[in-house]
Chain A
């Protein structure tokens, strides 16, 4: 097993381009998750019983499925209901949904962990329930939820590797097909691992900075 630097640099540009796709998919699904998550969390906490129950059911279902199954479902089922999207956008939708569900659970449990005292104090001052949650409870949880949320972002990046099964040309798909094309195994695997470590490592470092900055 000798490391072939020539092969390493020959295939590097293609994998770096693929890393761009990984980043795009991760950031877009992160954006979607950030939009959806607070809505899901608030619907569970404040929504009328039926809505809260439906949202909770949805959260449990998504948490009880491998992301791969959700991605495959989005890819095969969306066209059936007339939504025709590219593999990339199907993947972004699926990952965004999964990310939103896990983030919603983080937000909900952070708010619930504040205990009844904070809510009751706000209600006693005359805040309506939804304003108490939005204006009193939510701001208190921000510093506590940021570390687990950035951790979930790292998970989102890892999960984007699963988009390779629906032919999105991100790191894993490109690396895999290069291996089968060229039989250059070690050099390409090392590149894939390094690219992920760089992307995920920088998110992790960023998250530690945030934690320290917020004194959490």
Chain B
């Protein structure tokens, strides 16, 4: 078991790199598009495009989104490395959820904050940039930490396109030594330690920030 654990550490590293990279791209993207969506009328073409993205991501399993990237990019003549495809799929998925988080965060900033900024003479765009977005970003801390756990879990599905993250590596090891249950136990232990740890940090952060109106992150199990 100890040997398996050691061999799973580098793939665990890859899982973390995939998840954190995707989070680092998807969070600003989600906040920006969420803010845009909150500002634009429903009928605006950009609103329609954002809504379509959210609809597709929430209405299909992440597996389909991974296939879409994996099979369609080559059809378009693009052949990026697997890692890029993996991150791309996670970003496609995560941003789809974070757009809703960002929009909720922007809309949860009290109307008085807008009015104070406008009354000082800031235009709408500057008010959003200087005052509303910084406050919305704080409110997103809880949901974003939660999103990191979701991404770590979701990255396991990248195993289907042979990215050797934690789950794929565990699969490979177990089909070589045929000790399936033991390897899965070790793998599960590694996932659990990280995801549970993140959830502890997240709830501590949420408690500290709840005074300033932070949004609570709601856990959900699959993408």
Q: Are A61 and B219 in contact (CB under 8 A)?
A: no
Q: Are B61 and A172 in contact (CB under 8 A)?
A: yes
Q: Indicate with 1 or 0, residue by residue over A158-177, a CB within 8 angstroms of chain B CB atoms.
A: 11111011000000100110
Tell me the B residues contacting A by CB distance below 8 Å: 55-56, 58-64, 67-68, 71-72, 75-76, 149, 152-154, 156-157, 159-160, 167, 171, 174, 180-181, 184-185, 187-188, 191-192, 195-196, 199, 218-223
Q: Are A98 and B221 in contact (CB under 8 A)?
A: yes
Write the chain A residue with the least CB distance to B192.
Answer: A64
Known: A77-B184, A158-B61. A69 touches B67 (CB 8 A): no
Main secondary structure of the interface of A (DSSP, over half): helix
Known: A67-B153, A185-B72, A185-B75. A165 touches B160 (CB 8 A): yes
CB distance from B5 to the nearest CB of A (A): 15
Please tell me the number of chain A residues within 8 Å of chain B, measured between CB atoms. 48
Known: A66-B191, A102-B221. A200 touches B153 (CB 8 A): no
Partner of B56, one of A66, A102, A193: A193
Cα A164 to Cα B191 with chains together (Å): 21
Write the chain B residue with the least CB distance to A194.
Answer: B60
CB distance from A126 to the nearest CB of B (A): 35
Partner of A192, one of B64, B154, B192: B64
Cα A172 to Cα B171 with chains together (Å): 19
Main secondary structure of the interface of B (DSSP, over half): helix
Q: Are A80 and B181 in contact (CB under 8 A)?
A: yes
Known: A161-B64, A200-B60. A185 touches B71 (CB 8 A): yes
Residues of A within 8 A of B174 (CB): 76
CB distance from A123 to the nearest CB of B (A): 28
Q: Are B67 and A192 in contact (CB under 8 A)?
A: yes
Q: Are A65 and B191 in contact (CB under 8 A)?
A: yes
Q: Are B60 and A158 in contact (CB under 8 A)?
A: yes
Cα A161 to Cα B218 with chains together (Å): 22
Q: Are B60 and A66 in contact (CB under 8 A)?
A: no
Cα A159 to Cα B153 with chains together (Å): 12
| A178-216 contacts to B (CB < 8 Å) | 179, 185-186, 189, 192-193, 196-197, 200-201, 204
Residues of B within 8 A of A152 (CB): 220-221
Q: Are B188 and A69 in contact (CB under 8 A)?
A: yes
Interface centre among B55, B154, B156, by most chain A C-beta atoms within 10 angstroms, is B156
Cα A167 to Cα B49 with chains together (Å): 35
Residues of A within 8 A of B223 (CB): 158
| 8 A-B residue pairings within 8 Å (CB atoms) | A67-B222, A68-B167, A72-B167, A72-B171, A158-B60, A158-B62, A165-B160, A197-B59
CB distance from A1 to the nearest CB of B (A): 6
In the A-B complex, list the 6 residue pairs whose CB atoms are closest, starting with the nearest.
Answer: A159-B222, A76-B180, A161-B61, A66-B156, A158-B61, A64-B192
CB distance from B164 to the nearest CB of A (A): 15
Interface centre among A1, A152, A196, by most chain B C-beta atoms within 10 angstroms, is A196
Q: Are B63 and A164 in contact (CB under 8 A)?
A: yes
A155 at interface by CB-CB < 8 Å: yes
A151 at interface by CB-CB < 8 Å: yes
Q: Are A156 and B222 in contact (CB under 8 A)?
A: yes
Q: Are A67 and B221 in contact (CB under 8 A)?
A: yes
| A128-164 contacts to B (CB < 8 Å) | 148, 151-152, 154-162, 164
Q: Are A69 and B222 in contact (CB under 8 A)?
A: no
Q: Are A193 and B71 in contact (CB under 8 A)?
A: no
Known: A152-B220, A186-B72. A159 touches B61 (CB 8 A): yes
A9 at interface by CB-CB < 8 Å: no
Cα A80 to Cα B219 with chains together (Å): 32
Q: Are B221 and A155 in contact (CB under 8 A)?
A: yes
CB distance from A47 to the nearest CB of B (A): 22
